[in-house]
Amino acid sequence: MRNVPLVLLTALALSGCLDSGDSGFVDGNSAVDNSTSNNAPSIGGNPSTAIMVDDKYEFIPSASDDDGDSLTFQISNRPSWAEFDRMTGRLSGQPTLGDVGTYENIVITVSDGIASRSLKAFTITVSQSALGSVTLSWTAPTENSDGSPLMDLAGYKIYYGRSSGDYDHEIRLESPGITTYVVEQLVADTYYFAATALNSEGVESLFSEEAIRAVN
């Protein structure tokens, strides 16, 4: 199992090498627009590219149209285990053991009835087992946000997910003496991490700065 180290600095400020992933947008030249008065719609988003068997997959692209036109979506090379909503662009599903494999060249397109624009083609890999882990380590904070001494540190929360600011996993650590934690059972993908501190009354600090780590 591959282990990717990631360090949380003092006051729970996360650090680590940022993954220079693709933005998920296609070049403007890919828009198809046969009208001189119609603006092509826009579409964006970063779909997860890996999932484990029996986990739930969901991706909903962001889309808008400057003209206020109604939008519809279509998909090419939809994975057999996933469903697609033409009204929202939602791709979702729950692969089983028989779906293990790589699904390539998936393209989601939005149209306003005249012009269309597509996300860059992406791949989803369905794995039977996790491929890696991330080790988190930090120095315990010593001050409250107002600068007063922190006397009742009780623990931490670690948050992570596959989209920036969207953390669908939460780990609560009840001991203030813990300064290292290994997040395991991670499939190959890019993960976004943030952390908070807790005092004895259960008051939670603000999120630390977000850090990004790629598990290969």
The topology (CATH level 3) of 28-119 is Immunoglobulin-like (2.60.40)
Domain boundaries, the chain: 2-19+130-215, 28-119
153 residue type, one letter? L
* Parts of the chain with a pLDDT under 70: 1-36, 130
Residue among 159, 131, 127, 158 at smallest CA distance from 57: 127
Return the pLDDT at 154: 94
Return the pLDDT at 36: 59
Return the pLDDT at 21: 37
2-19+130-215 shares its CATH topology with 28-119: yes
In order of 86, 91, 107, 151, the CA distances from 76 in angstroms are 12, 11, 5, 57
Return the pLDDT at 127: 87
β-pairing verdict for 122-127 and 50-52: parallel
Helix (H) or strand (E) holding 64: strand 62-64
Question: Is residue 11 helix, strand or coil?
Answer: helix
Quote the CATH superfamily of domain 2-19+130-215: Immunoglobulins (2.60.40.10)
Enumerate the β-bridge partners of residue 51: 126
pTM tops 0.75: no
